């Protein structure tokens, strides 16, 4: 059994992205977006994503719509939908997200967005294949 006190685990991680668990069909990832930072506009073809916000404030930009997000909010991003999440507050925007199927390399840790982007560009952040 995997068990996480997810809000506490997410709050303690300073990393932009940290993969906590990867299964055959889903993946659990925690993220910390610094003030003024963002995930970056993207589309996941064939991958649904559910994001739950633990602390901070931000703006969800999904399919051309914008909505403020804060602690306790959850946003669903269906596969193939353009999206971005931007930290609009003075503190880190902390969240956890579930991808189905997995999107990132198992146990990947990216300390910054730049590091995450470089790993993706180099093909070092590929999800496991079954």
CB 91 within 8 A of CB 35: yes
We report the CATH number of the domain holding residue 66 as 2.60.120.10
Task: Report the Cα 117 to chain-centroid distance in Å.
Answer: 13
13-71 per-position pLDDT tens digit: 999 999 999 999 999 999 999 999 999 999 999 999 999 999 999 999 999 999 999 99
Residue 64, domain extent:
14-120
| Residue 43 resides in a domain | yes
In this predicted model, what pLDDT tens digit does every residue of 94-108 receive, in sequence order?
Answer: 999 999 999 999 999
Instruction: Tell me, yes or no, whether 53 lies in a domain.
Output: yes
Number of domain units in the chain: 1
Cα gap 94→91, rounded to integer Å: 9
Residue 116 falls within a domain, yes or no?
Answer: yes
At 130 the pLDDT is 54
């Amino acid at each position: 059994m995997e068990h996480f006190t997810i809000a506490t685990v997410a709050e303690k991680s300073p990393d932009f992205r940290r993969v906590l668990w990867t299964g055959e069909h889903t993946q659990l990832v925690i993220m910390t977006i610094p003030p003024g930072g963002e995930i970056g506009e993207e589309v996941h073809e064939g991958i649904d994503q559910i994001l739950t916000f633990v602390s901070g404030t931000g703006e969800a930009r999904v399919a051309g719509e914008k909505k403020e997000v804060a602690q306790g909010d959850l946003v669903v991003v269906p596969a193939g939908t353009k999206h971005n999440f931007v930290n609009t507050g003075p503190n880190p925007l902390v969240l956890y997200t579930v991808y189905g199927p997995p999107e990132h390399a198992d146990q990947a840790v990216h300390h910054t967005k730049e590091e995450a982007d470089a790993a993706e560009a180099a093909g070092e952040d590929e999800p496991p294949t079954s």
